[in-house]
């Protein structure tokens, strides 16, 4: 996932000030769109209505014309482009090259972490076929701590560290106030996850942190069963949603995922209707 760059003086820049709240919102949305879709700053015409909706812009056409008149967007060959996008952000080619480099380096690091001194390219399924010792002999593939290979399943130590559906169900029964599956999915996306060899112990830590973020109810303090979380009155507030997401509220996870999926679907539909490829 690339990161878009914004000038910290954007809000006080004369052009941005002249664009107004909705103009700035659509301009920033266009930068995020370009970064995520790797368009090098090009804004597909079919994507503009969806971006405007996500940015809270009421009149997409009027705001588009305003950004073009202010040269925040450039009109070239019938397409809009974020002005000077590549001056501040990496190009598509640079991002893809970095991803490839990071992928190769990550596999090499994993091989070294699990005892190998060499590295072999992955097969068509993305799995390493093994790594070489210094004497040129090929060792067995290094183990995957979350999904052990068939060769590793006989190891009681590996079985003890494996996170599977049964383990998640067990933890869910013990921790009914949180969604353990969501915690597990979130944990796997964190950079620190790969550093844990014992994934079960790691998941228990994440579960503990998730529970610490939940408010303690009077029922819980009195030893009574804690009722299932109820929907927050301010669920429609973005600030409230962000706060609940930071507290690892399972409902917030689901709401954010639903909002993103809906936005992605609307954007994809608009681009497909115009015959624009992502």
- Beta-ladder partners of 122: 128
Q: Which pLDDT value is given to residue 71?
A: 93
Torsion of CA 199, 201, 203, 204, to 10 degrees: 170
**Residues whose CB falls within 8 Å of the CB of residue 14, separated by 6 or more in sequence, listed in order:** none
For the chain, how many structural domains are there in total? 3
Torsion of CA 243, 247, 253, 259, to 10 degrees: 10
Domain with 74, as residue range(s), is: 10-88
| 57 lies in some domain | yes
CA 181 to chain centre: 16
Same domain, 81 and 179: no
In angstroms, the CA 170 to CA 73 distance is 54
Same domain, 138 and 178: no
Q: Which pLDDT value is given to residue 203?
A: 84
| 2 lies in some domain | no
Q: Which pLDDT value is given to residue 161?
A: 63
| 96 lies in some domain | yes
Classified as helix, coil or strand, 72 is: coil
Q: Which residues of the chain have pLDDT under 50?
A: 117-120, 124, 126-160, 216-222, 226-236
Same domain, 132 and 42: no
| 122 lies in some domain | yes
Same domain, 196 and 126: no
User: What sign results for the dihedral spanned by CA atoms 243, 249, 251, 257?
Assistant: positive
Q: Which pLDDT value is given to residue 219?
A: 42
In angstroms, the CA 94 to CA 89 distance is 10
| 72 lies in some domain | yes
Same domain, 266 and 207: yes
Q: Which pLDDT value is given to residue 67?
A: 95
Same domain, 103 and 80: no
In angstroms, the CA 25 to CA 33 distance is 12
Same domain, 268 and 173: yes
Same domain, 103 and 82: no
Q: Which residue has the tokens 């060792």?
A: 139
Which of residues 74, 109, 142 is at a domain's end?
142
| 150 lies in some domain | no
Q: Which tokens go with 187?
A: 């944990």
Same domain, 49 and 112: no
Same domain, 187 and 267: yes
Same domain, 209 and 244: yes
Same domain, 76 and 103: no
In angstroms, the CA 109 to CA 92 distance is 26
Q: Which pLDDT value is given to residue 136?
A: 46
Q: Which pLDDT value is given to residue 218?
A: 44
| 56 lies in some domain | yes
Q: Which residue has the tokens 């979130």?
A: 186
Q: What are phi and psi of 132, to 5 degrees?
A: -100, 145
| 152 lies in some domain | no
């Amino acid at each position: 996932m690339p990161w878009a760059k914004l000038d910290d003086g954007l809000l006080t820049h004369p052009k941005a000030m002249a664009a107004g709240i909705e103009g700035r919102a659509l301009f920033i949305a266009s930068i995020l769109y370009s970064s995520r879709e790797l368009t090098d700053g090009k804004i597909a015409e079919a994507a503009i209505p969806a971006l405007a909706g996500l940015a809270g812009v009421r009149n997409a056409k009027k705001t588009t014309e305003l950004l073009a008149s202010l040269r925040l967007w450039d009109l070239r060959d019938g397409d809009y482009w974020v002005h000077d996008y590549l001056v501040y952000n990496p190009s598509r080619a640079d991002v893809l090259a970095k991803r490839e480099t990071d992928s190769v380096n990550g596999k090499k690091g994993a091989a070294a972490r699990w005892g190998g001194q060499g590295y072999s390219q992955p097969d068509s399924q993305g799995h390493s076929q093994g790594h070489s010792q210094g004497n040129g002999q090929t060792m067995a593939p290094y183990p995957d701590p979350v999904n052990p290979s068939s060769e590793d399943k006989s190891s009681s130590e590996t079985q003890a560290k494996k996170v599977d559906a049964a383990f998640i169900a067990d933890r869910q029964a013990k921790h009914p106030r949180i969604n353990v599956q969501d915690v597990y999915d979130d944990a796997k996306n964190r950079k620190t996850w790969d550093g844990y060899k014992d994934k079960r112990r790691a998941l228990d830590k994440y579960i503990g942190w998730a529970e610490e973020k939940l408010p303690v109810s009077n029922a819980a303090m009195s030893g009574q069963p804690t009722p299932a979380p109820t929907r927050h009155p301010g669920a429609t507030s973005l600030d409230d949603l962000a706060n609940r997401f930071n507290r690892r509220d399972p409902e917030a996870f689901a709401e954010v995922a639903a909002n993103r999926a809906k936005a992605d679907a609307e954007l994809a539909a608009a681009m497909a209707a115009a015959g624009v490829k992502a």
